[in-house]
Amino acid sequence: MELAELTVAKVRELVGARKVSARELAEQHLARIEKRNAELNAFLTLCPERALAQADAIDRKAKAGEPLPPLAGVPVAIKDVIVTRGVPTTAGSRILEGYAPPYDATAVARLEQAGAVILGKTNCDEFAMGSSNENSAYGPVRNPHDTARVPGGSSGGSAAAVADGLAVAALGSDTGGSIRQPAGFCGVAGLMGTYGRVSRYGLIAFASSLDHIGPFGRTVRDAAAVMQVMAGRDPNDSTSADVPVPDYLATLDNPVKGMKLGIPKEYFGAGLDPEVRAKVEKGIACFRELGCEVREVSLPHTDYAIACYYIIATAEASSNLARYDGVRYGPRATRAETLEAMYHRTRGQRFGAEVKRRIMLGTYALSAGYYEAYYLKAQRVRTLLYQDFVKAFEQVDALVTPTSPTPAFKLGEKTDDPLQMYLADIYTVTGDLVGVPGISVPCGKSKSGLPIGVQLFARHFDEARLLQLANAFEQAGGFGT
């Protein structure tokens, strides 16, 4: 059995027919992780006892002929910014080293209720701050397609795990592109739902008005199946939306003929790699062949998106990360003579360089005399970006863009130039700022064999249409375009 080719539906079919046990699948995946993780560094922690206990429970149901839940026996990985009861959750940071939460995130609990087998926690940029997975305190993740290159960030461990057959599906978080960009770099499907569609309860906060939890899958159908069980109102998260969740799988194979797709002209300007442009344009031609109507649209405030994002995100990060002071979580610095010295020493020693950079930027943007000039102005620009999308969706049903300006870049290539690193998110941050759902799916490879992703956006809470379009593209051969 080739683990890298298993899908959610295939696992459920095999386990239900008792052709393979959930325990065997879990053990095979854990063995593959042990074999491959030294090279990829995709996992930080494994929880084999938890995984095998869940697998055994699924096997008992299968043996008794009981109906199986939708994710029965599916091996899943969880990004290490999503808390798991009794399993170390570090957010890729030394400041949370050894922290084992006393509860599960709602998303994790819902996956296990649906029969998923949690294998362990995946590596990520520290506190989800990064576009390459090089900011983890526990070393970088490597791209399975070329281990000299990054897997994308900040959910690079989850994307690499699915791409390399270490898990059938995985959870990531997306604040400025942290699901979609690594999905593009690793050649898998990565879905970010509408803001509020999936509960953030148990997600370690980076920027609370931007953070999302979403799935990675080997196929669009896999991503839809995982989203189906996670989505919906959660009383533990006041920002989760009380909006009905449709049956994503029921409409997944509906024809897309007649749908109107918008191509934002601002996303095809300077800085877009020629190979990426060629593959995305070929993908757009594929949508035309499927009967979609394609037209150019404008999102005129796109040029301000990166600046807007890195003011709002860093300001919220500065506020959210104030709680990590050596008192309430994780280890504290020793030999500090005063409380203030202990705070400084703990944070100075245990936060990484990128987290410190963003805390300082955010604190500055919120400081007296600068709040209106920076943070308030950024929020006004955010409103303009939101209005751009609203106007575009008056003309079209979905937007099609590149996921990233380039394929995966080399490890170390951009670490000395934060601005160039930030620009890797230029096509993804807008979705987080305006709260619309987005997905990245593979649309071919570069001449050197690196995956290239195409990104789709849809209206708020229209994940069903988004998945329908992405699935049609996949079925039409879009992955190999």
Which residues are known to be catalytic? 79, 154, 178
- Cα–Cα distance for residue pair 52/69, rounded to 1 Å: 17
CA-to-CA distance for 433 and 441, rounded, in angstroms?
21
Provide the edge-to-edge strand list for the sheet that holds 212-217: 43-46, 117-122, 75-79, 169-174, 212-217, 189-192, 438-445, 451-458, 398-402, 260-264, 293-297
Other beta carbons less than 10 A from residue 320's beta carbon: 18
Name the DSSP letter for residue 376: I
Q: Which bin fits 270, alpha (ψ -120 to 50), beta or left (φ > 0)?
A: beta
Cβ–Cβ < 8 Å for 460, 436: yes
| End-to-end Cα spacing for the chain | 27
CA distance 78 to 61: 24
């059995």: which residue's tokens?
Answer: 1
Q: SS3 of 458, please?
A: strand
Q: Which of 428, 205, 243 is nearest to 324 (CA)?
A: 205
For residue 448, list its beta bridge partners: none
Amino acid at 201: Y
Write out the two tokens for 189: 């499907």
Bridge partners, 178 (sequence order)? none
Distance (Å, whole) CA 371 – CA 47: 44
How far CA 440 is from CA of 151, 183, 245, 402, 473, in Å, comes to 14, 6, 21, 9, 11
280-299 in b/e burial notation, b at 16+ Cβ within 10 A? Answer: bbebbebbeebebeeeebeb
* CA distances for 418 relative to 128, 293, 308, 402, angstroms: 15, 39, 16, 21
Cβ-based neighbour number of residue 273 at 10 Å: 15
What does residue 172 show for φ and ψ, rounded to 5 degrees? -130, 180
Helix (H) or strand (E) holding 474: helix 463-475
CA distances to 117, 175, 198, 456 from 292, in Å: 38, 30, 29, 14
